[in-house]
Amino acid sequence: MSEAERLIAAFRANGTRASVARKLDLVLDLARQEDRRVVPFLLTVLADPHEPTPVRLDVMKRLRNGRLKPVERPRVADTMAKLLSERSNTELCLESALALGEFTDVPGVLAVLGNLAVQTAESFDLRYAAFTSMQRTEPTRDAIEIMRKLTDDEVLGRAAASFLRSWRIP
């Protein structure tokens, strides 16, 4: 049994009964492993609403800041985008919107962030997190279109216009 398999088994062994501290220790050790099974396992932890929020947030930060293979990036981005629908967990939604800033090059991510940023019924914090993540993209046609749409927004309009100017877009 490899070290990654041992750590995954230890994480699963106690299920939801394991302490948050123990799970965080196992996630830390797992994140250090160079094994193709680690990222898929961490994604299952991240997507599991029964896992404690601190564990899911830690997994998200490790995935966002980790050394992902190009083939892993779309799946990680997709899982984070799906977390935006967990409105009952505000902290996880905010962190997902911020983490997606690392994935604006992945197809579909910019659209997810843009749709969230223009939703005036959403909280300012969530909209602003999506907006700041969008600022990490290149000035593509889609990014420019979303920013232009936001210039009419009562809350984010001035910031969007300023950002367009920084791209030298009239």
pLDDT band at 85 (very low <50, low <70, confident <90, very high): confident
Say if residue 63 is exposed, middle or buried (CB neighbours under 10 Å; 0-12, 13-18, 19+). buried
Placement of tokens 């990014």 in the chain:
143
Structure tokens at 79: 């899982």
Q: What does the pLDDT read at residue 67?
A: 87
- pTM reported for the whole predicted model: 0.91
pLDDT at 81 over 90: yes
pLDDT at 24 over 90: yes
Q: What does the pLDDT read at residue 143?
A: 95
Quick: pLDDT tens for 94-131: 999 999 999 999 999 999 999 999 999 999 999 999 99
Q: How far apart are CA 160 and CA 90, in angstroms?
A: 24
* For range 14-43, the mean pLDDT: 91
